[in-house]
Amino acid sequence: MLPQNLNLISSLFSPGVDTKRYFSCEGGSVPLSCDWGYIKVITANYGRTDHTTCSTGRSFHQLSNVDCFQETSITVMSKRCDGRKSCSVPALNSVFSDPCVGTHKYLDVSYLCLPFSKSITDTHYHSKIGVGNGVIWIHHANYGRRDLVTCPHKLATSPDCYSPQTRSLRSSCNGKKSCQLNASNASFRSDPCPDVQKYLEVMYSCI
């Protein structure tokens, strides 16, 4: 299912924005990258929807189920990749869970490269985002850590700390000329990874 704001994305950045598509057989990984702009995942499925993809060396039993969908695939991919220049996601049950036991699956992803603005706020700090002519639209926000380089710290020990805050920041920032960002456990009422130094990552544009 396409995200509800895809029409908005298309109207903001088309024409000239081409959808990219990659897939990987179970056990491999899908590398996404943007030479310009930032990743926005559009569709994703870890499962099987045909008999031929990733079929080499597989039995009929492993290929027969072509109605294998993992509904959380796009959520997993968005957490890991939205707003980044590049990412690589393993096509594994341990990442997506197993939507159809006994079926040989593959990860199928399509995405865009879009010219977002990016804001990074270290834990316990405040920042402000703003736009010129127009108002703010939040595309992606995560409070946690998705790499070991951003906001370097001795406690920057895990690149897999996800706490999506897109919905909450849309409610507080969308439609405004400027918006204050607070990066703290108290602001988001959670600590997604105790003992890991976190930051608030926000991708937004002017509409």
> How many Cα atoms occupy the beta-carbon half-sphere of 80 within 13 Å?
22
Weakest-pLDDT range from 5-14, 128-137, 168-177, 178-187:
5-14
- pLDDT, residue 12, reads 52
- pLDDT, residue 132, reads 86
Q: Are the CB atoms for 190 and 142 separated by under 8 Å?
A: no
Q: Using DSSP, state whether 177 is helix, strand or coil.
A: coil
Question: Which CATH topology does 16-114 take?
Answer: Jelly Rolls (2.60.120)
Residue type, 60: F
> DSSP letters along 40-102, please?
EEEEEEEEBSSSSTT-TT--HHHH----B--TTHHHHHHHHHTT-SEEEEE--HHHH--SSTT
Q: Are the CB atoms for 29 and 91 separated by under 8 Å?
A: yes
In the chain, residues under CATH classification 2.60.120.740 are: 16-114, 117-206
| pLDDT one-digit tens code per residue, 82-115 | 999 999 999 999 999 999 999 999 999 999 999 9
For the structural domain made of 117-206, what CATH number should be given? Answer: 2.60.120.740
Phi, psi of 171 (to 5 degrees): -70, -30
Copy the structure tokens of residue 199.
Answer: 């930051």
* Nearest-angstrom CA–CA distance, 167 and 74: 15
| pLDDT one-digit tens code per residue, 30-75 | 999 999 999 999 999 999 999 999 999 999 999 999 999 999 999 9
Q: Are the CB atoms for 200 and 129 separated by under 8 Å?
A: no
Please give the mean pLDDT across all residues of the chain.
91
